[in-house]
């Protein structure tokens, strides 16, 4: 069985979703964000990587373009946190790294987070740790797990901020740094996993 077949089998209970409705919701909500940003011109800095190819998981399909999955292969919100990311006052933050972040970029990020007074707690989730979670999640489908390589899973720093009021500035500063693909802030209770993600 090739990767495509493993993948199809893993998702064969897909309940489906209406992409027209998804587009519409993105236009409505994204339009609100655009308007807010125009009102506070200059406040939103940073870099957002929304598309990326994860080598090997770029499953071919005639019906779909070669848009891929890096954006979607992100850890989901932790159970007790807000599902939707927030734009301000986040307690917990996930810094998702680019697929090609270098060891140097990662160590510089780790040092910057460690020294940042806005950061309360910081953890790093390696590809190996992400893979282990993935493996446990799909323990009943070992062939599928075997078809996905470590390299295809995301790395992230998970942060609990010392003061949620400083999230906006924190996000702006770290979004500019090399190796950072995306920053996702959520509001979580203290009992939640650090970073607000699984």
Partner 1 sequence: MTDTVLPARPVDTLRGGKNDDFTAFVESAATRLRRSAYLMCRDWHLAQDLTQQTFTKMYVVWKRIRTGTNLDAYSRRVDH
Query: Looking at beta carbons only, is 120 or 172 nearer to partner 1?
Result: 172
Q: Could you say which residues in the range 122-141 bind partner 1, by CB under 8 A?
A: 134, 137-138
Contact between 1 and partner 1 per CB under 8 A: no
Compute the distance between CA of residue 74 and CA of residue 61 in angstroms, rounded to an integer: 22
Element (H, E) at 95: strand 92-97
The SS3 of residue 36 is: helix
Contact between 169 and partner 1 per CB under 8 A: no
Q: Which of 2, 38, 39, 50 is close enough to bind partner 1 by CB under 8 A?
A: 50
Q: CB 115 → partner 1: shortest distance, Å? A: 25
Site string for partner 1, 67-96 (x = CB under 8 A): xxxxxxxxxxx-----xxx-----------
Pair of tokens at residue 134: 């993935």
Q: Where are the beta strands (DSSP E) in 103-148?
A: 119-125
Q: CB 117 → partner 1: shortest distance, Å? A: 26
101 within 8 A of 179, measured Cβ to Cβ: yes
Site string for partner 1, 3-42 (x = CB under 8 A): ----x--xx-xxx-x-xxxxxxxxxxxxx-xx--x-----
Compute the distance between CA of residue 128 and CA of residue 90 in angstroms, rounded to an integer: 27
Q: CB 118 → partner 1: shortest distance, Å? A: 22
Query: Residues near 189 by Cβ (< 8 Å), separated by ≥ 6?
Result: 80, 81
Question: Among all chains, which residue has been given the structure tokens 């993105």?
Answer: 26
Compute the distance between CA of residue 36 and CA of residue 97 in angstroms, rounded to an integer: 26
Contact set with partner 1 (CB under 8 A): 7, 10-11, 13-15, 17, 19-31, 33-34, 37, 44, 46-53, 57, 59, 61, 63-77, 83-85, 98-99, 134, 137-138, 148, 181-182, 198
């Amino acid at each position: 069985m090739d990767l495509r077949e493993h993948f199809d089998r893993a998702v064969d209970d897909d309940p489906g979703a209406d992409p027209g409705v998804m587009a519409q919701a993105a236009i409505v909500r994204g339009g609100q964000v655009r308007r807010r940003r125009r009102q506070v011109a200059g406040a939103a800095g940073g870099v957002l990587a929304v598309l990326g190819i994860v080598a090997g998981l770029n499953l071919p399909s005639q019906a779909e373009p070669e848009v891929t999955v890096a954006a979607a292969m992100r850890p989901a919100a932790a159970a007790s946190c807000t599902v939707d990311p927030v734009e301000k006052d986040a307690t917990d933050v996930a810094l998702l790294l680019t697929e090609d972040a270098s060891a140097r970029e990662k160590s510089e990020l780790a040092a910057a987070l460690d020294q940042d007074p806005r950061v309360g707690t910081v953890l790093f989730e390696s590809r190996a740790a992400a893979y282990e979670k993935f493996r446990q999640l799909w323990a009943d489908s070992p062939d599928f797990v075997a078809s996905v390589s470590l390299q295809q899973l995301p790395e992230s720093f998970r942060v609990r901020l010392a003061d949620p009021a400083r999230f906006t500035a924190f996000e702006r500063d770290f979004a500019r740094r090399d190796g950072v693909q995306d920053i996702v802030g959520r509001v979580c209770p203290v009992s939640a996993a650090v970073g607000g993600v699984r």
